[in-house]
Amino acid sequence: MKVTVVGAGAVGATCADNIARKELAQELVLLDIREGFAEGKAIDMMQTSALLNFDTKVKGVTNDYASTAGSDVVVITSGLPRKPGMTREELIGTNAGIVKSVTENILKHSPDTIIIVVSNPMDTMTYLTLKTSGLAKNKIIGMGGALDSSRFKYYLSQELGCSPADLNAMVIGGHGDTTMIPLIKHATWNGVPVTQFLSKEKQDEIVAATMVGGATLTKLIGTSAWYAPGAGTAMLVESILRDEKKLVPCCVALDGEYGQSDIAIGVPVVLGKNGWEKIVDVKLSEEEQQAFAKSAEAVRSMNSVLELA
């Protein structure tokens, strides 16, 4: 197997490091536009292989898309990160041009690859890739829901005093501070609804903290987070390359599912060797359905900005 990660910044490098440590592929190409940057990151990673005992070969390149040829999965993290006070939406103009160019160059050398989009605003960048790549819709996946769900589990575990690994909890909808929908009424602690342990006030606090989870870290760190986004992306790569059939919320193209069409937005999907292989229909309450429709409307509004850009 071969994986390419485009963008050797904090998120891309963390994703690549996770992929290498887990030996998900024989070859991993790290590509960046900055001269020598990806090469340096790759050498640094390779110098951990004797210490961590992995055999994945990590190669860094500067804008050399020919080196990415034959990639089974391509991760796109390139683009500007968020600064404090900046919304994901404000990134749209610059990052749209970057993502479109990257996609075109990747497909020249790996026409049948599966693309995982991490660049923000992620829902719109996934939609852009869907509309401009010519790939089958099941081969285009936005990562956001996996990250948001992990953050949701973190906040739940902090309140419940339990292991996040014992929790099943999903976030659907847009990958934005006001558009994501943490499904707290569906969340369970080893099969037991978390609502049995939490007051309505605590439930609301956890949902609110999850929704601004990214902005909270941006304010603390001074830029976008990278450990969890990188790990979340590597988890998607793992489910695809190992055909694990994991059920994960991801941003994918809808064609009537959840009452929406001509949009890419977060819903639970089964991930395997063909990309996303099935959309799972969660029975939403009327309140949750209304929230999803509102989220889709906001994502469409951003997509309309993309069309004018």
Q: Are 171 and 210 in contact (CB under 8 A)?
A: yes
Strands 188-189 and 192-193: what pairing? Answer: antiparallel
Q: Are 206 and 159 in contact (CB under 8 A)?
A: yes
Residue spans of beta strands (DSSP E) within the chain: 2-6, 27-32, 57-62, 73-76, 114-117, 140-142, 167-168, 171-173, 180-182, 188-189, 192-193, 246-255, 261-272, 275-279
Q: Are 126 and 141 in contact (CB under 8 A)?
A: yes
Q: Are 209 and 152 in contact (CB under 8 A)?
A: no
Residue 140 CA neighbour count, 13 Å, CB half? 26
CA distance 113 to 7: 17
Q: 151, 153, 175, 186: which is the annotated catalytic residue?
A: 175
Residue 107 CA neighbour count, 13 Å, CB half? 17
175 carries an active-site annotation: yes
Q: Are 29 and 5 in contact (CB under 8 A)?
A: yes
- Interacting residues of 204 by C-beta distance below 8 A, sequence separation 6+: none
CA distance 50 to 40: 17
Catalytically active residues are 175
